[in-house]
């Protein structure tokens, strides 16, 4: 067996998918589509080639006395659910209370993006982000909140167009200290009464 060109395999799969929708991948309007769609697909799922933890560890620095909450809010989430391979869109908020080490702010967003460019489950994504921050920064506490709309819920089946899903993980002092926990939730716009 010869080694398969992954791009060719992708583009053949796209042509098969077009045929399955009932259209003709050879008609003029679609002639270049399998190849184009294959490139788009490769880009949307390029999170398998990067280790987000390594990326995050690259830009650590000494906290230099700063011991307050660090919160990166509103990181854009665009991913695909592992159940239907349909888009989920939303935001990710990552907070931690440093214990001597600060993470690069842009690296946090970039590491989250890497994880979103894989087939994902929202609950798993939330946990993977928390694990990653915990392992790399060894903070006093970490909190991750994700709010997302799943197209498998809004565009098919029950068609709950107004519904979104919120997942939340709090650990360490961000879990045990009610004040810090409240600060995190409030700053993320998730604070209740
Ligand atoms: Zn789904």
CB 116 within 8 A of CB 144: no
Phi/psi of residue 110, nearest 5 degrees: -70, -40
Percentage of residues in the chain with pLDDT exceeding 70?
97
* 38 membership: H or E segment, kind and range: helix 33-44
Mean pLDDT of 31-35: 96
Confidence (pTM): 0.92
Model confidence at 2: pLDDT above 70: no
How far is the centre of ligand 1, averaged over its atoms, from the C-alpha of 81 (Å)?
5
Please report the pLDDT score of residue 3 as a whole number: 62
Instruction: Write out the two tokens for 85.
Output: 């391979």
How far is the centre of ligand 1, averaged over its atoms, from the C-alpha of 18 (Å)?
21
> Left (φ > 0), alpha (ψ -120 to 50) or beta: where does 102 sit?
beta
Phi/psi of residue 188, nearest 5 degrees: -90, 0
d(CA 77, CA 149): 10
How far is the centre of ligand 1, averaged over its atoms, from the C-alpha of 154 (Å)?
10
How far is the centre of ligand 1, averaged over its atoms, from the C-alpha of 65 (Å)?
44
How far is the centre of ligand 1, averaged over its atoms, from the C-alpha of 59 (Å)?
34
Please report the pLDDT score of residue 190 as a whole number: 87
How far is the centre of ligand 1, averaged over its atoms, from the C-alpha of 145 (Å)?
19
Cβ contacts of 60 within 8 Å, gap of 6 or more: 101, 102, 103, 104, 136, 137
Model confidence at 1: pLDDT above 50: no
Residue 146 — pLDDT band, cuts 50, 70, 90? very high
Percentage of residues in the chain with pLDDT exceeding 90?
86
How far is the centre of ligand 1, averaged over its atoms, from the C-alpha of 24 (Å)?
27
Q: How confident is the model over 40-95, as pLDDT tens digits?
A: 999 999 999 999 999 999 989 998 889 999 999 999 999 999 999 999 999 999 99
If you write DSSP's letter for every residue of 110-164 in order, what string do you get? Answer: HHHHHHHTSEE-HHHHHHHHHHHHHHHH--SEEEEEEEEEEHHHHSSTT--TT--
């Amino acid at each position: 067996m010869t080694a398969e060109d992954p791009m060719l395999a992708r583009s053949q799969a796209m042509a098969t998918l077009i045929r399955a929708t009932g259209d003709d991948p050879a008609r003029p309007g679609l002639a270049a589509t399998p190849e184009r769609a294959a490139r788009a697909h490769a880009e949307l799922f390029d999170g398998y080639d990067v280790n987000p933890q390594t990326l995050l560890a690259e830009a650590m620095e000494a906290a230099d006395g700063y011991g307050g909450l660090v919160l990166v809010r509103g990181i854009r989430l665009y991913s695909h659910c592992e159940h239907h391979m349909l888009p989920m869109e939303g935001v990710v908020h990552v907070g931690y209370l440093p214990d001597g080490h600060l993470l690069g702010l842009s690296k946090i967003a970039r590491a989250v993006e890497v994880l979103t460019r894989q087939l994902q489950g929202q609950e798993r994504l939330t946990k993977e982000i928390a694990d990653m921050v915990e392992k790399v920064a060894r903070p006093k506490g970490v909190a991750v909140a994700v709010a997302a709309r799943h197209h498998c819920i809004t565009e098919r089946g029950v068609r709950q167009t107004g519904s979104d899903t919120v997942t939340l993980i709090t650990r360490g002092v961000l879990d045990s200290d009610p004040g810090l926990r409240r600060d995190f939730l409030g700053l993320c716009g998730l604070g209740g009464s």
